Amino acid sequence: MAPTEDQATVDAQGRGRADEIDPADQWVLNPRTGNYELRLDSSAAQPAAAPAAPPQPRSAGRRRAAAPAAEPAKAPGRTPRTAPGVPGQRRGEGPPGGGRRGARKRKQEKPRGKKVLAITGGSVAFVLVAVSVGGYLYYKHLNDNIKTTEIVGGSKGFKKDQAINILVIGTDKRTGAGNEGYGDKNSTGHADTTILFHVAKDRTNATAMSIPRDLITDIPDCPTKQPDGSVKTIPGTPGKRFNTSLGQSGRDPGCTMRTVAQLTGIQPDHFMMADFNAVKTLSSAVGGVPVCLDKDVDDDKSKLKLTKGEHRLAGEEALAFVRTRHAFGNESDLDRIKTQQAFLSSMIREMKSKNTLTNPKKLFSLAEAATSALTVDTGIGNLNRLMDLGTELKGVNPKNITFTTLPVKDNPAERVRATVVVDEPKAAPLFAMIQSDTSLTEVKQQEKAAKDAKTAAQEALLQGNRAPASDVRVNVYNGGGPQGSAGTTLTWLQNSKGVLKSGNLGNAPAKLKKTTLEFAPNQADQARALADIMGLPATALKQTAADAAPKDPMVLTLGQDFKEPGISLTAPQQAPEGIQRVEADKEVCAK
């Protein structure tokens, strides 16, 4: 499908060769009101006209600017529109964008490169919060930029008091003006770069886990919404590359979400998918992304040529940096993931820097680039919802944002190393840490240990003797686990673990988020034994005040955190040894 006129304009601006006016350059300070006015050139393509007395979007705060020495002259054919809350400027400075009022023509550059780096949900949402000011026209323009896909059974929105899981997908589909030159322009695209971005319930930390595109996994059945409104289920395929979960056979991002949920046990709430222009437009809008190289690079395939040391990359050069496979490491996709993570970490730092937050031109450019590059699910498919999401995410300190990669190993079924499979002993603890909001950074672990006196007291309950499995008496309720969990757990306890004095009580009176084991003081030995068998954390133990009768059973209620018998609910407090990590507040040089 050919790009729309608006999309073509945005794509062209991202490569620095647009003839239209940069939106950030159209905001002019009115010294009489102290506010910026949006002055639109009648010769340029304009968004739809605003209605009379249009409603204003929520503002991140109103600030008045000092008036310059002289009022700027009004250009012919421009109609002022006041934008309350647009960040002001110091006396003597020009308007946003360095005082330019007219269109600026730039030299056309020939596009290069093949791959796109996905942007994290936190970074995009943070940008949207920062620019939640301005007039109705510009707000509507940004809102119209956002593209949506309806996911069958998808979430209608996130909850402020719950963890948030956003699946960020970078597709290699050749979209956007000029990107057909990258080759394979008729490809339906794949999930080329995929990051599961988990934000903790208390919003103090986040983990961004990359999923290798060449991972061999099972693709599940995928119900997809068709253009006519009907639902078609695309059959699953076992033992396929992860990147085929998108685009192939008509699979939509919802299929990639289902594949991730099946693979990790972590259900993504929403997705954000970026097109080929994301890394070019965002890196340019922020004024370039600082990177560090441990050696000289001259890669003919990606056209990346840089000297050892620090550089600030934008546009095509930034795209070449994140897509190169031959410049760093052992020239594998796994090493390219490390380069991408270091680049994203630097971009987050740059977006949160004062140089960006106090620069109106950068903020407007980032808003334009982010909304134009995104396709999201309908649950967060408008500017208001994305700004609400950004409000939830903006407080996460970069020192507590950790990038990691799903642990994998070479596929033993192949003689030539081309694909990988999950390294289960390392992956399972990592999944458990993400599910329990346990940060991969030492900072968060130290804070948690300092304030967790209640957990320490519960841990003491696990200290002591264990009763033999044959002496454990327990009744099992299903309070939120998968259907039939009480029955399957009972069978597992009796047949596999020797807990014969157990019973199935069916569904619990109410659903629980977490699994609990209620026991009396004289049943502590039994509780410790069952906790070991079930893999229950200390926080699951609930001791009553009075002793129980000799033949009274304990009560085990399976919560929404329960997956199946044999999967421990105890999250490790430290990441598995040797797991790959990049912390967003630290610069890492590409080697």
- 301-349 tens-digit pLDDT: 888 999 999 999 999 899 889 888 888 888 888 999 999 999 999 999 9
Q: What is the pLDDT of residue 60?
A: 39
478 phi and psi, to 5 degrees?
-100, 110
Q: What is the pLDDT of residue 447?
A: 55
Mean pLDDT of 550-566: 92
CB 341 within 8 A of CB 582: yes
> How would DSSP label each residue in 12-37?
HHHTT---SPPGGGGEEEETTTTEEE
CB 371 within 8 A of CB 383: yes
Mean pLDDT of 193-222: 94
- 82-131 tens-digit pLDDT: 333 333 344 344 434 444 444 444 444 444 433 334 444 455 555 544 44
Mean pLDDT across the chain: 77
Q: What is the pLDDT of residue 446?
A: 54
Our measurement of the distance from residue 500's CA atom to the centroid of its chain's CA atoms, rounded to an integer in Å, reads 45
Q: State the Cα torsion 375-378-382-384 to the nearest 10°.
A: -130
Our measurement of the distance from residue 264's CA atom to the centroid of its chain's CA atoms, rounded to an integer in Å, reads 15
Q: What is the pLDDT of residue 521?
A: 93
Contacts of 18 (CB under 8 A, 6+ apart): 9, 12, 106
The two structure tokens encoding residue 84: 């309350």
- C-alpha to C-alpha distance for 7 and 16, rounded to whole angstroms: 14
pLDDT band at 390 (very low <50, low <70, confident <90, very high): confident
Q: State the Cα torsion 525-529-530-534 to the nearest 10°.
A: 150
The amino acid at 241: R
More confident residue, 72 or 242: 242
pLDDT at residue 458 greater than cutoff 70: no
pLDDT band at 33 (very low <50, low <70, confident <90, very high): low
Mean pLDDT of 182-198: 73
- C-alpha to C-alpha distance for 132 and 138, rounded to whole angstroms: 10
Q: What is the pLDDT of residue 91?
A: 39
Mean pLDDT of 433-439: 86
Percent composition of the chain: helix, strand, coil (DSSP 3-state, to 5): 30, 20, 45
Biggest alpha carbon–alpha carbon distance for the chain: 92
Q: What is the pLDDT of residue 26?
A: 52
More confident residue, 69 or 345: 345
CB 69 within 8 A of CB 94: no
Mean pLDDT of 33-45: 46
Q: How far apart are the first and last CA of the chain?
A: 39
- Domains of the chain, earliest start first: 19-83 (no CATH), 121-440 (3.40.630.190), 454-558 (3.30.70)
- C-alpha to C-alpha distance for 381 and 122, rounded to whole angstroms: 16
Mean pLDDT of 388-410: 90
- C-alpha to C-alpha distance for 45 and 202, rounded to whole angstroms: 44
The two structure tokens encoding residue 430: 């990592």
More confident residue, 96 or 422: 422
Q: What is the pLDDT of residue 133?
A: 43
Helical pair 383-393 and 121-130, crossing angle rounded to 10 deg: 110
pLDDT band at 556 (very low <50, low <70, confident <90, very high): very high
- 362-372 tens-digit pLDDT: 888 888 988 88
CB 543 within 8 A of CB 524: yes
- C-alpha to C-alpha distance for 291 and 403, rounded to whole angstroms: 16
> How would DSSP label each residue in 325-370?
SSSSTTSSHHHHHHHHHHHHHHHHHHHTSHHHHT-HHHHHHHHHHH
- 497-539 tens-digit pLDDT: 999 999 999 999 999 989 999 999 999 999 999 999 998 888 8
pLDDT at residue 59 greater than cutoff 50: no
